[in-house]
Amino acid sequence: PEQERAALEELAVRIAVEAGRLVRDERPRAVDVHRTKSTDLDVVTLMDTRSEALVRRRLAEARPDDGVLGEEEGVTGGTSGLTWVVDPIDGTVNYLYDLPAYAVSIAVVVGDPTRPGAWSPVAGAVVAPRTGEVFSARAGGGARLRRSDPAGDHADEAPARLRVSDVRDLAGVLLATGFAYDRQVREDQARVVADLLPRVRDVRRLGAAALDLCHVAAGRVDAYYEVGTHAWDVAAGALVVAEAGGVVTGLGADDPPSETMVVAGGPAAHATVRAEVERLLRRG
């Protein structure tokens, strides 16, 4: 029911604001790479680990029966049928360099978020602590942006409803994308970008998938695509886009050419960009 989804959204906001404050305020002057994951480019800082631990603690207090899937610690089962999908710092490389485009992303989903196409988001929040922006949404209840009080625990402003842009032509599309941590995969991604760049308005590579999606929702970019994202990068942001009137594909098992090719945009821009990227990937 709507009331329960609203409560889940507020819980996601509250915890993401608190974790965002932790990573921002306790960022060491020189952030060390704690370890690397899939490749040498895929870094984890100690703050990723601390942020996820805080989120898990708060979720265990508030929702002990729910499962949790976190980027750093993996999956912890629950019994309620709901699972929280957590990216403790999305945009870790930006964080490493003290670029402000990083966020804490928290979504709650039904189904199994470890299997493409087997889950769907119910509510979520994406909090960018350096800008104070708090994006959130709940299924059927719209998407919102407010600003958090930099000193306080809670989002403190009346929320503004988000709406995607209505750009149709590729030539007018401000296009966001992201690149994988795998150098080999990047060779294909470079070819796709090289083909698109002369034909769109311009290309942005912000470095945080959750924020790319929220920017689509806010009409700050017209579309976003990326190959190789994970559920924790996109679960909250995809709901924010959908609830802002946009279309997101690539989360389902049957979405060609890869279940991890996420495309988001207003309905027209989404269709245009998806067709182009699919054509270019097939050609590769």
Binding footprint of ligand IPD on the chain (CB under 6 A): 71, 87, 90-92, 178-180, 207-209, 226, 228-229, 233
CB of 7 to ligand IPD, least distance (A): 27
Closest to ligand IPD by CB, 103 vs 268, is 103
Nearest to 230 by CA among 59, 140, 114, 120: 114
- Classify residue 17 as exposed, middle or buried by CB count within 10 Å of its CB (0-12, 13-18, 19+): buried
CB of 226 to ligand IPD, least distance (A): 6
Q: How far apart, in whole angstroms, are the C-alpha atoms of residue 216 and residue 226? A: 13
Closest to ligand IPD by CB, 233 vs 276, is 233
CB of 253 to ligand IPD, least distance (A): 20
Q: Write the CA distances from 232 to 176, 184, 272, integer angstroms.
A: 18, 23, 26
CB of 283 to ligand IPD, least distance (A): 22
Instruction: Supply 90's token pair.
Output: 């999305």
Instruction: Supply 92's token pair.
Output: 């870790």
Tell me the residue type at 15: I
Closest to ligand IPD by CB, 209 vs 214, is 209
Q: How far apart, in whole angstroms, are the C-alpha atoms of residue 107 and residue 77? A: 16
- Position of minimal CB gap to ligand IPD: 178
Q: Write the CA distances from 143 to 19, 76, 123, 128, 219, integer angstroms.
A: 21, 28, 10, 16, 12
CB of 86 to ligand IPD, least distance (A): 10
CB of 38 to ligand IPD, least distance (A): 9
Closest to ligand IPD by CB, 24 vs 245, is 24
CB of 235 to ligand IPD, least distance (A): 12
Closest to ligand IPD by CB, 239 vs 268, is 239
Q: Write the CA distances from 213 to 5, 46, 244, 249, integer angstroms.
A: 21, 26, 11, 12
Bridge partner list, 134: 127, 146
Closest to ligand IPD by CB, 80 vs 258, is 258
Q: Dihedral of CA 236/77/254/185: which sign?
A: positive
Closest to ligand IPD by CB, 89 vs 123, is 89
